[in-house]
Amino acid sequence: MRAMSGDHLTEAVAGCAAVLGGALERDWGAVRAGSLEWDCHATAVHLADDLLSYAANLAGRARDAYVPFELTLDAGTGNAGLLHVIETTGALLAAAVRTAPPGVRAFHPYPFGSADREGFAAMGVAEALLHTHDIAQGLGVAYEPSADLAESVLDWLFPHVQPGPAPWPTLLWATGRGELPGRAPVTGWRWRNNLVIPAERLTLTGLRPAVARDLALGGDGGFTWLEGGPYEGTREAAGFMVKAYEAGVHRPEFGVFALVRHEDGRAVGGIGFHGAPDEEGRVEIGYDLTEGARGRGYATEALRALTGWALARDDVGSVLATVERTNTPSQAVVTRAGFVPVAHEDAAGAELAYELRP
């Protein structure tokens, strides 16, 4: 798995500079940028401002809002100078991504209030690809980024979008910039950074499709695992999540989470939902731990955190868990988390069902 990184940003900004560098003699302020309401000059300034803002938020570990400043060009700055600003702000964001420790998050509003270093890299790449497209379209010059860059943006920021026949047309469609056969036009859109849920000793880190795919195929998903991990249940759940993503039915907030221990940053297990809530607001949950992490209360802590998050939502009325009849430690976990036994249709009698309500 190739995680989103500063290298992706460097590649995306270099592609922008290569295309726009061939149109420096044009009047960027006189031409509308593709389907946007801005002209090409304003769009280029917006791109540079976004890259700088992301770099500042990540480097400054912004918590509740953007760092309170914005980009202002010197009077008389021409197209060449503006393009240099884009290259510079892209380099600043790439540096911020490369130097940020794993797991560090900073403010971004969509949709859960924060993003990690990979999320900031993905947002920067998305801004570069999409606004280079807008400006190039307005100027009448050809532009198409690599399929790898477009696919990475989709994997990291659009987990709610079913993959299409090719990454770049799919990204353009997902952002209201193009059409895809058999799909309705997109008139409003937001990208989605992954959800993280804090617990006392753990962070529940939502898996993105690329991470889930790597885990399902036997990789580490970019996490440093406690010895013996990830356990087979986490890999299986990741595989089911990938299938849901590819079928276009994945709801990212009802996906799979890695349990990352605060004390050393190691992943010790996985927890997640079997899918989105049904029509009656019921959602099923499952979890596992690496063998070396068992017996320390991690599963109970994670279960309480995730069920607390779920039951605070309007679309969830109850959380279900099924446990093998022979698995007494897991039965103790759900009981400690507040679940109570309920009737369950299990012809073989091999499983017990538990439920938790608000």
pLDDT band for position 349 (cuts 50, 70, 90): low
Per-residue pLDDT tens for 198-208? Answer: 999 999 999 99
Model confidence at 336: pLDDT above 60: yes
Per-residue pLDDT tens for 35-58? Answer: 999 999 999 999 999 999 999 999
Tokens of 274: 């079997």
Average pLDDT over residues 30-35: 97
Cβ atoms of 5 and 74 within 8 Å: the answer is: no
Angle at 121 between CA 118 and CA 122, to 5 degrees: 85
Domain span(s) for CATH 1.20.120 in the chain: 6-174
Model confidence at 347: pLDDT above 60: no
**Fold observed for domain 196-356:** Aminopeptidase (3.40.630)
| pTM recorded for the entire structure | 0.95
Tokens of 341: 């036994």
Residue the block writes with tokens 């500079």: 17
Average pLDDT over residues 7-30: 98
Share of the chain above pLDDT 90, in %: 96
Interatomic CA distance for residues 255 and 258, integer angstroms: 10
Domain span(s) for CATH 3.40.630.30 in the chain: 196-356
Tokens of 314: 């309007």
List all residues 6 or more positions away from 314 whose beta carbon is below 8 Å from its beta carbon. Answer: none
Per-residue pLDDT tens for 202-249? Answer: 999 999 999 999 999 999 999 999 998 899 999 999 999 999 999 999
Q: What integer best gives the mean pLDDT of the chain?
A: 96
Per-residue pLDDT tens for 101-131? Answer: 999 999 999 899 999 999 999 999 999 999 9
**Fold observed for domain 6-174:** Four Helix Bundle (Hemerythrin (Met), subunit A) (1.20.120)
